[in-house]
A = this chain, B = another copy of it.
């Protein structure tokens, strides 16, 4: 039984691989995107111009391996799984990236919708992917982000089937957390986002909707990965979708008002 964020990080550092939705309830989880310093301004500006999918919670100095978000963390080992990108192509997936973390690499830690899931669960709103033991499904949409420098790409969304009579409440609860994607970007019709088949997500697992559920879409921290694929920087490291760093920061810190 994993009780604390530090324990979870130690487990992942030792090589365990797992999707982290539902892990260590109450502690904020974050996405990773690390790029060469030469690309850091474009990435930070891309995030500023697209705050819903890219809420940046911390940025390292070049070569740095720690973060203010988690005590004694090594960003090169403490995510359950990493993806390595070369020229915009997925080159490999790994459980650590110690040997690839150069002195000029700048890491961006980006908020994750898992943060508001705790509030949804506390309100009794069912989370189907957790009930079904799956990673949350994520989709590349036809909606383009606002470009920044050399970076451009589509919006990626996560989807949760929500009972129709709880959609308003799920919206209000997530809206209170703008630092971790905030309110849904879209509710209902997947086709309006260019999603043809909910059963074939681009990342994560398909999730079964229960009768009366409506698909609700939130901006997703995998959006920077889609920008990498579209914009092809020479090198980048990200987390594997759904496999996040569990920080020490209470989710409540991102609740506004």
- Partner pick for A176 among B59, B182, B257, CB 8 A cutoff: B257
Given contacts A41-B44, A175-B257, A256-B256, 9 further A-B contacts (CB under 8 A): A48-B59, A49-B59, A172-B257, A175-B256, A178-B178, A178-B179, A182-B256, A256-B257, A257-B257
* Copies of this protein, total: 2
Residue contacts A-B, CB under 8 angstroms, 23 given:
A40-B41, A41-B41, A41-B44, A44-B44, A44-B45, A44-B48, A45-B59, A48-B48, A48-B56, A48-B59, A49-B59, A172-B257, A175-B256, A175-B257, A176-B256, A176-B257, A178-B178, A178-B179, A178-B256, A182-B256, A256-B256, A256-B257, A257-B257
A182: which B residues are within 8 A, CB to CB?
A: 256
Task: Say how far A17's CB is from chain B's closest CB, in angstroms.
Answer: 30
A256: which B residues are within 8 A, CB to CB?
A: 175-176, 178, 182, 256-257
- Those of A154-193 within 8 Å (CB) of chain B: 172, 175-176, 178-179, 182
Q: Mark A231-257, 1 if CB is under 8 A from B, else 0.
A: 000000000000000000000000011
A56: which B residues are within 8 A, CB to CB?
A: 48
Q: Report Cα–Cα, A178/B180, bound state, in Å.
A: 13
Q: Report Cα–Cα, A17/B188, bound state, in Å.
A: 50
Q: Report Cα–Cα, A256/B179, bound state, in Å.
A: 11
A48: which B residues are within 8 A, CB to CB?
A: 44, 48, 56, 59
Task: Say how far A7's CB is from chain B's closest CB, in angstroms.
Answer: 28
Query: A-B pairs with the 6 shortest C-beta distances?
Result: A41-B41, A176-B257, A256-B256, A175-B257, A44-B44, A178-B256
- Those of A12-32 within 8 Å (CB) of chain B: none
- Those of A22-71 within 8 Å (CB) of chain B: 40-41, 44-45, 48-49, 56, 59
A176: which B residues are within 8 A, CB to CB?
A: 256-257
Closest to A176 in B: B257
